[in-house]
Amino acid sequence: MLALLSASALVPVTIAVTGGGAVATALAGAAGNIGSGYLTGVIERTAARLRYSNVESPGREMARDALAADLLAALEKGDSTAQELGAELTTFLKKIDGFKAAVNAAEDDLRAHLRECFKELFEQQRAALTALGAIGAEQRRQGKQLRGQTKLNEENADRLRWLTSRLTERSSTEPSSPAASGGPQPAVTPIIAAPAVVTAAPSAGAWYGGAEVAIGDRVYLIHDDLLEEHFSPDRSLLRRQARGLRLVPSSGPGAGYVWVRHVEAHRGTPLARIALNALAHERDLLASLRSVRGLPRVSQFAADNRTATLVAGWPASRSTGVPCERLDALLGRDGAPIDPWHLFRLCTGLAGLCETLAKLHDHGVTHRYLTPGGIITLDDGRLVLRDLGLAARDHEPGEGPADYQAPEQRRGDRHPGPQTDIYQLAAVAYHLVTGRPPNAGISLPVRAQARDVPERVRRALDAALALDPTERPDISSLGATLRAARDDLS
């Protein structure tokens, strides 16, 4: 196309060159500006042909076709001279507006030929795009299949490594074996745990820091910093809870740090049945409250007739990757009041937690076991609940955490409700603000313990710690007051 357009544009100019005149001067100036050597020679050869032929048709058409053939032959070589010629032709046509002039001046057969060239190029481009689309779709399909197979292979490899280590530990503790006694050694067959195998948590052995605990088809590494394990007074029920890290599978939904709670019934007592049902009920509550912000997300639940295990996600810090701290990290100040910066973040976080508790109360659910250790602090200062506390259990006299137990929980003369959560949240805030938990009977006003706390915060906490539940503010009002108190600290 470049050869045809150039020839069509140059022939009229070359005709003018052969007769002299203004066009010849313009051509000489343009050619000189682009420094064309080969192009000047081609024009001279074309001019020589025109001198010995009729400048009108058909001599003009023959000169155009011959010029186009010369240019095409030079361009098709693909060497440095061809590249230079192509650049010169393009520059030349731009200088004299040759593209538009060549197309307008072209004979019908040239325009038809150009249309065919463009049509062929369009068809080639469309075919190429169609082929690329098919290749892209197939590559995406193969990539998805490969990622799925790779993930399955990684999970099976994780299970195989874990089972191999367990078998190695078991064989090292056995007193004797056929191999040790010189007897025939059986063939060793690798065992891969199938994902479909689902069992409850192991009933034998204690949990400890560094233990690898299998729950269904998943394996967790137990951390020791929050590990608790104890029997009920009648030893009919074993309770365990710990933070951990999911090892198998190491990726996918629910991967990362977790909060694991496990109950195991040693005898079929009413207490054991209540504990087993409570974890199942909490799983159902969390599933129905998935839209409520600030609640944990269930990662796994496994149960049989004597065990139940509930695994929920534990958020990790985006900056360090370690588990987010609990709110009790602000304690341990030997009774010193909280500083203004942490008080500002505390008011912000507690105000958001009030919104979470308000949503629970709207669904007829109360937590009833709020403690600094049961509240997790995210990177941005937001506070989220570690679990649902006693929400999945019926009220029992004397329930609740010792330092943050509401008066109605201690006395047992009134059924705990939303006002219980208000008292416990205020008790947590009192402890964090003053450095001491509130008195079980009647607490000293916040002003007597922390004089630098804004007045509206002191009044709100004192009111929420009222012994009579009916005198406490509702959870939304407490949250609004804490949020407004940030203005006094900023």
pLDDT the model gives residue 119 = 74
pLDDT the model gives residue 76 = 83
Domains of the chain: 2-106 (no CATH), 213-313 (3.30.200.20), 327-489 (1.10.510.10)
Q: Residue 303 pairs with which residues in a beta bridge?
A: 308
Rounded Cα distance between 367 and 214, Å, is 29
pLDDT the model gives residue 74 = 82
Q: Could you report the average pLDDT of every consecutive run of 10 residues in the chain (490 residues)?
A: 75 61 47 56 71 59 78 80 79 65 56 69 75 74 70 66 67 51 40 34 64 91 94 94 93 88 94 94 96 96 95 94 93 71 91 97 96 96 97 92 92 87 96 87 79 87 93 95 83
pTM score of the predicted model: 0.61
pLDDT the model gives residue 5 = 75
Give the count of beta carbons closer than 10 Å to the beta carbon of residue 454.
17
pLDDT the model gives residue 448 = 82
292's tokens: 């409520």
pLDDT the model gives residue 141 = 75
**In b/e form, how buried is each residue of 194-224, taking b as 16+ CB within 10 angstroms?**
eeeeeebbeeeeebeeebebbbbbbbbbbbe
> ω before 372 within 30° of 0 (cis)?
no
pLDDT the model gives residue 367 = 98
Rounded Cα distance between 12 and 3, Å, is 15
